[in-house]
Amino acid sequence: MILILDELMKGNLDIAEQVCETKAFWDRFFADHKSSSEAEIAKALGDEQLSYETVFDGDRALGKSSMPFTCLASLYDDQKGFDNNRALAVRVARAFQGSMVSIEVKGAATRAAMAYGLYEYDSALLKDAKRYLGIYE
C-alpha cells in the first residue's frame, strides 16, 4: 500500500482507477469462492496472482503489495466492519499464508490482517502478527 500512496502523492491518478478496478476483480473472485474452503481459496489466490497484477498494468510490485489489502477491503464496510464477512475474511487471511502467492504477497497479507485486526479472531493470524513484529514466545 505504501507504493500506491507514493504513486498518488506523485500525482499518478491512474492508480486510483486501478484500485477501483480491484473491487470488480474481488467481486468476481468471491462470486466463485465465497463458500470455498481455506485450501480452495489458497489455491485460487495463487492461481490469480498474475491476473490481479494486470490490473496495475503489469506493475508486479504494486500488485504484490496491494493484493491482500484490496482483497480484505472488498469484504469490509466502513460502517459495519466485516459484519457477516468476518469468518470469510479470517479464512482468506489464513489462505494467503498457505497459498502459492509470492513471499511479498504473504508479507503484505500479514500486514493487511494486522491492519484489519483479524489477529483478534484467529490464533494462527495472531502468531503471524507476533512473528512479523519480532515477538517470539
Closest by alpha carbon to 56, among 8, 101, 100, 112? 8
* Residue 136, pLDDT above cutoff 90: no
How far apart (Å, rounded) are the C-alpha atoms in residues 35 and 69? 20
Mean pLDDT, the chain, rounded, equals 95
| Residue 11 DSSP code | T
| Residue 81 DSSP code | B
Mean pLDDT of 53-79: 96
pLDDT, residue 57, reads 93
Q: Give 77's strand partners.
A: 81
Closest by alpha carbon to 101, among 63, 58, 56? 63
CB 85 within 8 A of CB 30: no
Q: What percent of the chain has pLDDT over 70?
A: 99
pLDDT, residue 83, reads 95
pLDDT, residue 116, reads 96
Query: Which pLDDT tens digit goes with each residue over 100-124?
Result: 999 999 999 999 999 999 999 989 8
* Residue 99, pLDDT above cutoff 80: yes
Query: Which pLDDT tens digit goes with each residue over 30-61?
Result: 999 999 999 999 999 999 999 999 999 989 99
